[in-house]
Amino acid sequence: MAKLTDLQRKEIIAARVEGTSYRALAKKYGVSPTAIQNVVSSDPKTLQKCTHKKDQNTASVLAHMEAKSKDVCNALDLLLAAMQDPALIAKTPMAQLATTYGILVDKHTTIERKAAEQADGAFDDGFMSAFEERAPELWAAGDDLPGGDEDAPQE
């Protein structure tokens, strides 16, 4: 494994602060991702900068999602409709639909939770409650799929 020069270490730190992945840096410099992690973690200021940059990126994504809240809700409506359409269910593995739904719900509830906490410190998870009520129906709709309901929650 290659030994890193001081210049390379500085380049790694700068690239990591900007968000370059450990894996990409490891490939570029011919070392393991662990070696890259060791370079980054050897300097507390670098760790702080990386954390700050990650927080900034997260805030940026959440702000974008908040601005697109109506689109997210429309996408959820379409996905819910697809999850209830027997023809689409027959074509799409339920795991794929459930994963997509979970991602959208996660992002949407993060925005809702943030807004509620800013407003009054409370978060009513009515969205998830509504899904939990419907989950048995959605799983039942997939009973005729190959594999049946083997992944369905047990009652």
Residue 13 has pLDDT above 70, yes or no: yes
Q: Where are the domains of the chain?
A: 6-55, 68-141
Q: Taking residues 142-148, what's their average pLDDT?
A: 48
Start-to-end C-alpha separation, the chain: 53
* Phi, then psi, of 121 in degrees rounded to 5: 80, 0
Asked if residue 57 lies in contact with residue 65, where contact means CB atoms within 8 angstroms, the answer is no
Range with the poorest average pLDDT among 45-59, 96-110, 115-129: 115-129
Token pair of 136 as six digits = 């048995």
Q: How many helices (H) and strands (E) does the chain have?
A: 8, 0
CA distance 76 to 135: 15
Q: Looking at the whole model, is its pTM more than 0.75?
A: no
Asked if residue 10 lies in contact with residue 42, where contact means CB atoms within 8 angstroms, the answer is no
Token pair of 74 as six digits = 């429309």
Kindly state the DSSP code that residue 149 receives in the 8-state scheme. Answer: T
- From the number of C-beta atoms within 10 Å of its C-beta (0-12, 13-18, 19+), residue 91 rates as exposed
Between helix 6-17 and helix 33-41 the angle, nearest 10°, is 90
Q: Taking residues 71-80, what's their average pLDDT?
A: 81
